[in-house]
Amino acid sequence: MGVKFTSAKWYLDWDDDFTPEIAQGFSGQKVIPELTWQPQINGGCILYQDVIAGKYDPYLNRFIQDIKRTGVNIRIALAPEMNGAWAAWAVGNCGNSTSDFVSFWRYVVDKFRQQSAPIAWIWSPNIRHWGETATFASIYPGDNYVDFLGVEGYNWGTTQSWSEWQSFKQVFLSSYNDLVAISPKNIIITEFASAEQGGNKAQWILDMFTDLKSTFPRISGITWFNMNKETDWRINSSAASEAAFREGARKFFTTDNPIVGINQNPVSETSQSTIQKIDKSTIAQNNETKVENPSEQANDTDTNSESSNTTNKDSNASPNRSNDSSQALFFIIWIGSIMLLLPITIWLAVK
């Protein structure tokens, strides 16, 4: 696609130890490791008051020291979609309140900082939606405890009885405005995609690139959830949608990005070896290169992954889970392979 991949994502729960081989593998390929860290055990919720009381300190301390031993800086999206009832760790589940969540977040961040762990923290709720368990403001832990704002949302089209076609702007603008009101931090869309049913997905993608420039100046990154799951979310769900993404990406990147990496081999043999050693997390390794043809790497069979551990959701739920030179824009494109998902992150400087 003519873009530079410089970040990669994987998922862990709170019954998982840190996986240094993944972080080191990513770093060795000169990509930024980004961990989605889900505070659940065996798929069940935990009491945030127990965390604050120190019950999980041995786990946290071990996790911190394992990160420090890698010698790698990483980003952590802690407890994303915490305002959606489908997430085990969401506010309202296990009796966890909004104040419990804020205290939990601050406790975890403080503990990492006390031990000088090299972490950038991403706070990432689901978009505002009917039935949400908390408002953004009520669960925001404060700028001193957050490095990036995040948000997740989807255009479900007419795939569900409760859903209707929404443009990229309709999905995100209200929540974007709420985030802008909360904090001056840069914003990352940590998961999003569009269905085919109910509208024109190809045009939706082209309009997305336009909207990112014209309407969402504070967005510094977006993540495409490229799976055939509740519906076919993939970029290449049709030839038209794939062509639209290629067209939009090329225009967007070649216009705005002075550093475009080009290479035919997005996954090295070394990184594939690292991937094959891990079976509990969704992981990937990517060179700073472009993908020539995502459809050639994708598999039509759905892939089991922690990134798709979900229950039924409402209309704005996740199926899973400016022109300022100081900003940057990256894409994470989820591409299903025979073995696992390969999240490909695209990073570029925005003029």
Residue 211 lies in a domain: yes
Residue 37 lies in a domain: yes
Q: Which helix (H) or strand (E) holds 55?
A: none
Residue 177 lies in a domain: yes
Q: How confident is the model at residue 316 (pLDDT cuts 50, 70, 90)?
A: low
Q: How confident is the model at residue 279 (pLDDT cuts 50, 70, 90)?
A: very low
Tell me the C-alpha distance between 280 and 330, whole Å.
26
Tell me what pLDDT residue 304 has. Answer: 29
Residue 320 lies in a domain: yes
Q: What percent of the chain shows pLDDT beyond 90?
A: 56
Higher pLDDT, 253 or 325: 253
**Nearest alpha-carbon partner for 126 in 226, 46, 225:** 225
The residue segments making up the domain with residue 156 are 7-349
Average pLDDT over residues 138-157: 96
Tell me the C-alpha distance between 201 and 335, whole Å.
18
Residue 261 lies in a domain: yes
**Backbone dihedral angles phi then psi of residue 83, each to the nearest 5 degrees:** -100, 10
Task: Name residues whose C-beta falls within 8 Å of residue 101's C-beta, 6 or more positions apart in sequence.
Answer: 48, 79, 82, 91, 134, 139
Average pLDDT over residues 166-182: 97
Domain count, the chain: 1
Locate tokens 């062509």: which residue?
A: 243
Q: Where do runs of H (alpha helix) occur along 93-152?
A: 98-114, 136-139
Q: Which two tokens stand for residue 90?
A: 């969401």
Q: What is the per-residue pLDDT across 206-236, written as a single tens digit (0 to 9) for each?
A: 999 999 989 999 988 777 887 899 999 998 8
DSSP for 226-272 reads --BSSSB--TTSSHHHHHHHHHHHHHHHHHH-S-----S-SS-HHHH
Residue 1 lies in a domain: no
Q: Which two tokens stand for residue 337?
A: 């392979």
- pTM here is 0.74
Looking up residue 279, the CATH number of its domain turns out to be 3.20.20.80
Q: How confident is the model at residue 50 (pLDDT cuts 50, 70, 90)?
A: very high
Residue 2 lies in a domain: no
Q: How confident is the model at residue 254 (pLDDT cuts 50, 70, 90)?
A: low
Residue 46 lies in a domain: yes
For the sheet containing 7-13, what is the strand order?
Answer: 7-13, 32-38, 74-78, 119-123, 148-152, 187-192, 219-224, 328-336, 341-349
